[in-house]
Amino acid sequence: MSKSPEEEHPVKAFGWAARDQSGHLSPFNFSRRATGEEDVRFKVLYCGVCHSDLHSIKNDWGFSMYPLVPGHEIVGEVTEVGSKVKKVNVGDKVGVGCLVGACHSCESCANDLENYCPKMILTYASIYHDGTITYGGYSDHMVANERYIIRFPDNMPLDGGAPLLCAGITVYSPLKYFGLDEPGKHIGIVGLGGLGHVAVKFAKAFGSKVTVISTSPSKKEEALKNFGADSFLVSRDQEQMQAAAGTLDGIIDTVSAVHPLLPLFGLLKSHGKLILVGAPEKPLELPAFSLIAGRKIVAGSGIGGMKETQEMIDFAAKHNITADIEVISTDYLNTAMERLAKNDVRYRFVIDVGNTLAATKP
């Protein structure tokens, strides 16, 4: 007999879960493992709501496991540490992002790239080393191996910092890896949503010239005034796009809907790089000729390893980079998901777990 989620582990836990692909979230009693010698347990104070959470509760990608407790932008305060933990102490502010495990013996893990380990374990809806399902941050507390714990600097706000654990590292890592962090580069950011608005902030902090490329003319003022972008292109305006042809060293494409790549290739200089970090559900068309004419590169990038994630949080704290957020209560979650599906958020929902979760207990 397999045990119920409530009886699986010794430590009682409470959160919100989806039970099926309707995606409806509701209160859920479950349990978490006891604190192992290398584990850190923390009280969850805030958890960001990522587009992946919406895809996952509705099983859009086909590998969801129910009941599903989403949330991989989790921050809080350490309540217990295992005997071998060196990284943090009780009372420290910490976070957990998209990963809670990997094999630790492959080439990727040896190079601090746990995010590319073939056996990486996701923070929710994944199978942990002990064979049980992982549950995410829409919950009262979290436990993780210290390797996957990110220390939050004192000056980093927990609510605005939470989304950086997914959105932040997703854009920081490719900017660094592909050499787009060198001062004076001209970088394009496609899409001014949860990922895009953070990408603009990091690119500006690296000393880049930044052009935002969007289908929404209404976002122009915000891009230029609030986020400090240098210019704004409406991607449907052929004159604007033509005038900017051959001007960009690199483009970070954050759009997760199907969209044409050809107009973006036109914006790149020779040897320019188009990096995809959004994941459309259907394949995109790849016009080979426009890549060949200019030795251009199209690539992908997914989150980052733990070492780089810590580096990103430290860099963000130093440069006062946070996500622009709307803080919500736990009981607003289903409404928030409906709004997220319509892109009706500026720019990331963050759940005030610490102050609002307990009140939803049945």
Which of the four pLDDT bands, split at 50, 70 and 90, describes residue 3?
confident
Q: Region 143-163: what's the mean pLDDT? A: 98
What's the pLDDT score for residue 2? Answer: 76
Q: Which residues are annotated as a binding site?
A: 50-52, 55, 72, 103, 106, 109, 117, 166, 192, 194-195, 214-216, 219, 277, 279, 301, 303, 343, 348
Query: Binding site for NADP(+): what residues are annotated?
Result: 50-52, 55, 192, 194-195, 214-216, 219, 277, 279, 301, 303, 343, 348
Closest C-alpha to 162, from 313, 18, 305: 313
With a cut of 80, say whether residue 172 has pLDDT above it.
yes
**Overall CATH class of domain 11-166+324-360:** alpha beta
Q: How far apart are CA 191 and CA 182, in angstroms?
A: 22
Which residue ranges make up the annotated binding site for Zn(2+)?
50, 72, 103, 106, 109, 117, 166
Whether 1 shows a pLDDT value over 70: the answer reads no
Q: How far is CA 16 from the centre of its chain?
A: 20
Task: State how far the alpha carbon of 277 is from the alpha carbons of 24, 31, 107, 168, in Å.
Answer: 27, 33, 23, 11
SS3 for 186?
Answer: strand
For residue 159, is pLDDT > 80?
yes
Query: Domain residue spans in the chain?
Result: 11-166+324-360, 168-300
Convert the pLDDT of each residue in 300-345 to its tens digit: 999 999 999 999 999 999 999 999 999 999 999 999 999 999 989 9
The one-letter code for the residue type at 201 is K
> Which tens digit of pLDDT belongs to each residue from 29-80?
999 999 999 999 999 999 999 999 999 999 988 999 999 999 999 999 999 9
Q: What is the pLDDT of residues 283-292, one digit of tens each?
A: 999 999 999 9
Whole-number Å distance between alpha carbons of 113 and 303: 10
Pick the CATH number of 168-300 from 3.40.50.720, 2.60.40.1120, 3.30.413.10, 3.40.50.970: 3.40.50.720
pLDDT at 341: 93
Residue 25 — pLDDT band, cuts 50, 70, 90?
very high
Q: What is the mean pLDDT of residues 180-198?
A: 97
Confidence band of 281 (pLDDT split at 50, 70, 90): confident
Give the mean model confidence (pLDDT) for residues 121-147.
Answer: 97
Contact 211, 188 (CB under 8 A): yes
Token pair for 182:
């060198």
Q: Please tell me if the domain spanning 11-166+324-360 has the same topology as the one spanning 168-300.
A: no
Range 241-247, long-range pairs (CB < 8 A, 24+ positions): 241/266, 241/267, 242/266, 244/211, 246/270, 247/186, 247/211
Residue-wise pLDDT for 202-242, tens only, equals 999 999 999 999 999 999 999 999 999 999 999 999 999 99
> Using only C-alpha atoms, what is the Rg of the chain?
20
Length of the chain: 362
Say what the pLDDT of residue 330 is: 98
Question: pLDDT for 72-115, tens place per residue?
Answer: 999 999 999 999 999 999 999 999 999 999 999 999 999 999 99
Torsion of CA 8, 23, 326, 49, to 10 degrees: 50
Q: Encode pLDDT of 6-23 as tens digits.
A: 999 999 999 999 999 999
**In this predicted structure, what is the pLDDT of residue 140?**
98
Q: Under a CB-based contact definition with an 8 Å cutoff, are residues 230 and 211 in contact?
A: yes
* pLDDT tens for each residue of 243-256: 999 999 999 999 98
The answer to whether 160 touches 327, Cβ cutoff 8 Å, is: no
CA distance 325 to 322: 9
How many angstroms separate the CA atoms of 9 and 21, rounded? 25
